[in-house]
Every structure is written in C-alpha cells, then in structure tokens.
Amino acid sequence: MSATVRQFDHAPYQHVITAEVRAVAEHAVAVDCTVFYPCGGGQMGDTGMLRDEAGHSMPVVDTVKGEQGLIWHRLDGELPAVGARVELELDWARRYRLMQMHTAMHLLSVAVPFPVTGGQMTPDKGRLDFDVAGDALDKAAITERINGWITEDLPVSVEWITAEALAANPELVKTVGVAPPTDGGQVRLVCIGEIDRQPCGGTHVARTGEIAPITVKSIKNRGARNRRITLEWQPTGEGGTS
C-alpha cells in the first residue's frame, strides 16, 4: 500500500480534502491523501470532521502515523468502508493555533541557543527543554526577543536538502537524540528569515507576523542541565486566544 500523501507539507493552509479510504482498523481509517497532521515532533495530531458521500459526518478525534507511511484518522462513529470517497475537514482554528505555537517554538530555539532535548505543544501553550546549566535565562528578555521577531514579520519557508547535505552540516540539527524526518532521502528544512534553519516535519505559519504575541510563562529547573521553558499566548482582553 502506498504512503498517505502529506498535503500539509506543501499546503499547510488547506483545510479540506477529498480522499479515498485505503484501510480500516478499529476506530480508525487510513486514506490516500490528507490535510490532517499526524501526532509527531512534539505537535499534536489534528482533529476535525470526516463526511461520507451519503452526507454522514463523524468527528476525527486524533490523527496518528502508522506503518508504511500511512496516516490514520481516529473516528468517533461508524467507519466508512475501504474504497469509500470521503471529505476531510480540519478543525482549522485549533490547527492554526498549533501552527502559530509551533513557529513560536522555533523562535524560542533561536532566543535560547542551546541544544533542545524535548518539546511539546498544544493550541494554548508550548514548551522546549534545553540542555543548559545555570540560571542565566531571563523570562522578560526571551519574551522580548521572540515578540520582536513576530513584529518583524519574517518569512517562513521550506527547503528540501539531501540527507548527505544534512550530515555535512550537523549544526543545523538543534534537537538532541531525535533523527530528523526524511522523505525518500530528502530532509525538510524550515527556514525563518535569516535567523533560523532547522529540520522539521511540522506545520508552521507563512510569516512570523501571523503569530499572536507570546509570553514566557515559566522557566523550570529540571536537573543540573535541563531548563524547561514554557510559552503561552498573551491575554488580549477579547478572549479570542485560547
């Protein structure tokens, strides 16, 4: 069975796609192509709605990677059959928040130039763990740097390089202990203006100006050489950011 086409790699703003069901498992279907990002790289799997040709709608409660490059959509409802044509529509508000927060995580990794040992993001907040000792990290200074890059409205773009080219430039990899995602020997690089270039398979906004202002919520000491930095959205007073 061929891998699911990852439409979000090239078109992260596409909300809806028509797909064919390729495989059915307990409470999940795999399709030929999707706009739903599967959980991975610290980014949550997408949620949304699946509609069959009879017009029945069922919630997609999570999206995960399977074997052979298949992407599985976990469904809460009666499953469509193999071969069925379905329409998949993202919960776009949630996914856009994840794209904004994910891109903010890249800015955090520039503001704090130390190896990243882990990370996690939700639509409301995100965190990275850094391999750094001491107490020199300053919440206000990191917040100001990141919001400065948001105000600069830097372009975010994708480049593909060969695995060999990445091996020759190991400084591009900021995440420790995680192999960069490769697709047929190609590595996806996410570039932010002139300030950042790193392998990443997640979804990002097209310009940093799309990210809502953030604040460093906390810097936690989780060991001699582990600082966990958590970002969250600044309150807007309109209740529209979470």
Residues 31, 19 contacting (CB under 8 angstroms): yes
User: From CA 96, how far away is CA 157, in angstroms rounded?
Assistant: 16
Residues 90, 12 contacting (CB under 8 angstroms): no
# of chain residues touching Zn ion (CB under 5 A): 2
Q: Which stretch binds Zn ion (CB under 5 A): 20-28, 150-158, 171-179, 195-203?
A: 195-203
Q: Which stretch binds Zn ion (CB under 5 A): 80-88, 107-115, 135-143, 202-210?
A: 202-210
User: Nearest distance from residue 204's CB to Zn ion, in Å?
Assistant: 6
| 191 contributes a contact to Zn ion by CB under 5 A | no
In the bound complex, which residue of the shown chain has the CB atom lying closest to Zn ion?
200
3-state DSSP percent of the chain in helix, strand and coil, to 5: 20, 40, 40
* Residue among 202, 214, 228, 231 that touches Zn ion (CB under 5 A): 202
Beta strands (DSSP E) in 131-178 are: 156-162
Tokens matching residue 107: 């800015």
Q: Which is nearer to Zn ion, 52 or 106 (CB)?
A: 106
Residue type, 197: R
User: Nearest distance from residue 225's CB to Zn ion, in Å?
Assistant: 24
Q: CB-hemisphere CA count at 13 Å for 174?
A: 25
* Residue among 17, 19, 90, 200 that touches Zn ion (CB under 5 A): 200
Q: Which is nearer to Zn ion, 50 or 191 (CB)?
A: 191
Q: Which stretch binds Zn ion (CB under 5 A): 8-16, 17-25, 63-71, 199-207?
A: 199-207
Tokens matching residue 53: 């040709």
Inter-helix orientation angle 92-111/139-152, to 10°: 120
Q: Which stretch binds Zn ion (CB under 5 A): 135-143, 158-166, 178-186, 193-201?
A: 193-201
Q: Which is nearer to Zn ion, 150 or 200 (CB)?
A: 200
Which uninterrupted H or E stretch holds 8? helix 7-10
Q: Rule CB under 5 A: which residues touch Zn ion?
A: 200, 202
